[in-house]
Homo-oligomer: A and B are copies of this chain.
Amino acid sequence: MTAEIICVGTELLLGQIVNTDAQYLGRKLSAMGIDMYHQTVVGDNEARLLAALDEAFHRSDVIILTGGLGPTSDDITKETVAKYLGLSLHMHEGSLKRMRRRFQHMAQPMVKANLKQAMIPGGARVLDNDKGTAPGCILEEKGKTFIILPGPPFEMEDMFDKRVAPYLAGRTGEEIVSRVLRIYGIGESALEEELEDLIEGQTNPTIAPYAGTGEVTLRLTAKAGTAEEANALLDPLEARIRDRLEDRVYAMGEETLDKLAARLLMEENVTFALAESCTGGLLASKLVDNPGISQVFLEGLVTYSNESKVKRLHVSPETLDYNGAVSAKCAEEMAEGLLETSGAELALSVTGVAGPGGGVDAKPVGLVFIGMAQKGEETKVHQLYLTGDRRRVQNGAMLHAFDWVRRRILGLPEDRNC
């Protein structure tokens, strides 16, 4: 089965937004073992969309379209697919009801233009949209399948995962099982070297490394007649990789380091507080994205000014004068002051130079100190030299901090990556 993607939207051609929909679908389809050889972007233009549909029709089995389901006259995807297939549109009462409820809930008026979003080509299977107004749909016509999805990524991804992936899985005969190992504390090249003999000549299962910002994932994928057989192929491979990488493998699947740290804090019921300077609330904002974290996460302080460090965390003015705000001593006092003033059992501090400005020879951009204080334990400080732009430095500090929380709670060695 071959699929292709047509993304509809003049804003994509103009470069106003980056096409993450195509990436998301590419990753999902490849994980499902569905071949995709073409991606096309066309603007909100009927003639060009018709031409793109015709090309796709003649070379692929499944044509996935994203975008152009909005309420304005520019939004023409459903209309154009219907025209291409000689179908008419009709009002889908279920979608209309959902939309009315949605607007009611938002206490916003539903304007006339929204009605067109509930119009569906005849014979289509409707895909409910749990994250927005426009429903999607699947059309099986003339031996081909057209899948029409909304453009906004959070709507499209939710609809794909809940409604399209199960539909497509029902159509491929093979079972594809993937496992994602999440790794922190080793770069992509070093990882590839360490696993070279396993990666080389791989066919089934396959090993695909992927480097995000600061962490690396390995996707292990096996194809077989049944999921059991595929898993039997994956088990020994996973064991060998874990054996080599040891505690640098921190999770399997979708659990990122921040989520893992949050889960461990909750499971072990460790009350926690944060004092951030150069990360400016990034760690706190990641933590509070975890439902239930309010049980253990007492507070996060973005003590950006020296005054705030002194007043809120009792950092001594002498430390700020002599060692500076970016220093091991300051990180230590921040963590200890936070432990005392917050009442948390575990307190973590971050101070550093995230850039782009503010770096000097002795304290270059990328220098970050992380402090950890815990009741009954000695306070420790890690010193990091991170690389990249502001965003990467902040992200690197965050990953290190959450990995340290993981190591602390699980009793693993704590000084590995600094």
Contacts and interface: CB of A to CB of B under 8 A. Distances in A.
Given A55-B55, A304-B297, A18 B19 contact: yes
A270 to B, nearest CB: 14
A41 B42 contact: no
Interface stretch (A89-97, A107-115, A404-412): A107-115
Interface in A51-72: 52, 55, 70-72
A15 interface: yes
A10 B280 contact: no
A114 B18 contact: no
Contacts of A10: 208
Contacts of A40: 38-41
A245 B77 CA distance: 30
A343 interface: yes
A298 interface: yes
A25 interface: yes
A30 B30 CA distance: 32
Interface in A1-36: 10-20, 22-30, 36
B299 A303 contact: yes
A192 interface: yes
A298 B294 contact: no
A301 interface: yes
A302 B14 CA distance: 39
A284 B288 CA distance: 14
Nearest to A301: B301
A387 interface: yes
B111 A11 contact: no
A contact residues, range: 35 or more
A298 B312 CA distance: 11
Contacts of A72: 188-189, 192, 209
Interface string A280-301: 1111110111010110011111
Nearest to A42: B38
A259 interface: no
A24 B17 CA distance: 10
Interface string A371-395: 0000000000000010111111000
A337 to B, nearest CB: 13
B28 A15 contact: yes
Contact of A19 (B22, B288, B305, B392): B22
Given A304-B298, A343-B307, A389-B154, A36 B13 contact: yes
Contact of A305 (B17, B189, B279, B298): B298
Contact of A297 (B52, B208, B305): B305
A61 to B, nearest CB: 16
Interface in A102-141: 102, 105-108, 111, 113-114, 131
Nearest to A19: B19
Most buried by B among A23, A209, A302, A311: A302
Contact of A280 (B13, B108, B193, B288): B288
Interface string A350-367: 000000110000001010
A347 to B, nearest CB: 13
A249 B278 CA distance: 32
A80 to B, nearest CB: 15
A98 B149 CA distance: 47
Interface string A180-193: 00000001111011
